């Protein structure tokens, strides 16, 4: 059996394991270890596993993962995320579709703290769905808005998706964070536009909420000021060159903890639970990253990335056409694969192709992360859809999937806009990091 045939057999085995719901990290460990043993000997596989595990576990850049996750967990546990929603609700909740729009804006704010799409969907679902149900919002619109709004967590920095992309491709985390901010705002704006259009066509989907007085608006905004200040401090510190991403994660986690202690909303029990959740999530991400560094050498030894690159190069397509084909593959994979699995499986194959064709790796990273977002609400996997289903068990899955269709379309529109105008993603990193 040739090396390439062995590689293809390994990929097929990996897909089968993932479809059988074997944990992503375990499936990649098995396939990578057995594949390297078959191609290069078992001693080489053991040596690689030991060296890669130690190298990644001791990497200082990875400190951003547990600290940003801790920041999001403390924020959710102490009610700061509700204050973000309350502030958005006070400002625009009285217009048609205003509660759904406030949910999207709240998700965007929480995304800037947690970096997690699942956490954003779960937290905002618990906060917003009851309110929208109270004011007779369509279940299709309310659940669709929460599921789609949660996806902003993987794009608006600090984003775990960007961190993993940076580590797998050896790109700058700071540049990727900068590149995500304007596309994130663009996508959030298009989501709000989708809600507005839906409520213009079907007013009964999003009836207006009660009006709030100026003092109520002021009070809601002031309550959210500390957490807005943390967002400005951490993200602004990175953009202004005062903090590295690692330092910003420490500042952010420390700031939300200090604010919670001052407000007396953080007890020892809550903090221990936040720490425990952060450890579990970090361990999951670390295992996936280590497994990725096991399976990537297997793919390299099988020469699959080279073969795919030569095949695509032989088609005579231009950079934009190649980019479009790759993004289409991501959209298809997103219907049945989890986002991190897609990254670690595909980047060793696609990244050399895009760099050889002169495609900017930071721009490509933003487009890839957007494609991962679309997978979070694409059937049949649609992880965020199932998260919302767990919060709203009485709403049929079919209704939630119908509800996310307008937002899925807006994600596709965002990708098209970014392909036509790449400077939307590249302007900030090029201007602020030389």
In this predicted model, what pLDDT tens digit does every residue of 274-293 receive, in sequence order?
Answer: 899 888 878 877 887 788 77
Cis peptide before 380 (omega within 30 of 0): yes
Helix or strand run (H / E) with residue 305? helix 304-314
Token digits for 287? 């295992």
Q: For residues 77 and 256, is the Cβ–Cβ distance under 8 A?
A: no
Of 300, 387, 381, 391, nearest in space to 333 by CA = 381
Express as a percent the part of the chain with pLDDT over 70: 97
Which pLDDT score is estimated for 115?
A: 66
pTM of the predicted protein model:
0.80
Which pLDDT score is estimated for 141?
A: 93
Give the Cα separation of 430 and 423 in Å (integer). Answer: 9
Q: What is the number of other CB atoms lying within 10 angstroms of the CB of residue 309?
A: 18
The yes-or-no verdict on residue 318 having pLDDT over 70 is: yes
Residues with Cβ within 8 Å of residue 208, at least 6 apart in sequence? 93, 94, 95, 96, 98
Which pLDDT score is estimated for 209?
A: 75
> What percent of the residues of the chain are helix, what percent strand, and what percent coil, each to the nearest 5?
80, 0, 20
Q: Terminal CA-to-CA distance of the chain, rounded, Å? A: 48
DSSP labels for 38-60?
HHH-HHHHHHHHHHHHHHHHT-G
The yes-or-no verdict on residue 122 having pLDDT over 80 is: no
Q: What is the number of other CB atoms lying within 10 angstroms of the CB of residue 312?
A: 19
The yes-or-no verdict on residue 381 having pLDDT over 80 is: no
Of 156, 245, 202, nearest in space to 403 by CA = 202
pLDDT band at 42 (very low <50, low <70, confident <90, very high): confident
Query: What's the chain's length in residues?
Result: 434
In this predicted model, what pLDDT tens digit does every residue of 174-206 receive, in sequence order?
Answer: 899 889 989 999 999 999 999 999 999 998 998
């Amino acid at each position: 059996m040739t090396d390439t045939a062995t590689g293809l057999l390994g990929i097929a085995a990996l897909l089968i394991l993932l479809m059988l719901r074997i944990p992503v990290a375990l499936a990649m460990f098995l396939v990578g270890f057995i594949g390297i043993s078959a191609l290069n000997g078992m001693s080489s596989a053991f040596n690689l596993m030991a060296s890669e595990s130690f190298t990644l576990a001791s990497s200082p850049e990875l400190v951003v993962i547990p600290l940003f996750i801790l920041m999001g967990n403390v924020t959710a546990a102490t009610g700061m995320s509700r204050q973000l929603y309350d502030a958005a609700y006070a400002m625009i909740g009285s217009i048609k579709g205003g509660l759904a729009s406030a949910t999207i804006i709240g998700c965007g704010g929480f995304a800037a703290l947690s970096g997690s799409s699942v956490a954003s969907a779960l937290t905002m679902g618990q906060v917003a769905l009851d309110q929208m149900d109270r004011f007779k919002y369509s279940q299709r619109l309310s659940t669709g808005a929460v599921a789609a709004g949660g996806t902003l967590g993987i794009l608006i920095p600090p984003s775990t998706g960007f961190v993993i992309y940076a580590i797998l491709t050896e790109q700058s985390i700071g540049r990727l964070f900068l590149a995500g901010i304007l596309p994130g705002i663009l996508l959030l704006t298009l989501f709000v536009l989708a809600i507005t259009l839906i409520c213009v066509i079907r007013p009964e989907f999003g009836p207006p909420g009660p009006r709030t007085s100026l003092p109520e608006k002021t009070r809601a905004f002031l309550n959210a000021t500390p957490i807005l200040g943390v967002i400005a401090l951490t993200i602004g510190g990175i953009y202004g060159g005062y903090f590295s991403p690692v330092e910003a994660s420490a500042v952010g986690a420390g700031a939300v903890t200090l604010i919670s202690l001052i407000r007396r909303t953080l007890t020892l029990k809550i903090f221990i639970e936040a720490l425990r959740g952060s450890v579990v999530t970090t361990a999951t991400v670390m295992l996936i990253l280590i497994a990725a560094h096991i399976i990537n050498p297997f793919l390299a030894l099988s020469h699959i990335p080279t073969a795919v690159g030569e095949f695509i190069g032989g088609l005579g397509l231009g950079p934009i056409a190649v980019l479009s084909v790759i993004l289409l593959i991501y959209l298809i994979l997103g219907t049945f694969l989890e986002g991190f699995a897609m990254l670690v499986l595909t980047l060793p194959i696609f990244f050399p192709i895009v760099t050889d064709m002169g495609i900017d790796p930071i721009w490509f990273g933003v487009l890839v992360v957007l494609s991962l977002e679309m997978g979070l609400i694409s059937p049949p996997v649609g992880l965020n859809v199932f998260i919302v289903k767990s919060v709203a068990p009485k709403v049929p899955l079919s209704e939630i999937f119908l509800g996310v269709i307008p937002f899925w379309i807006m994600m596709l529109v965002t990708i098209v806009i970014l392909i036509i105008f790449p400077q939307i993603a590249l302007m900030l990193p090029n201007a602020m990091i030389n």
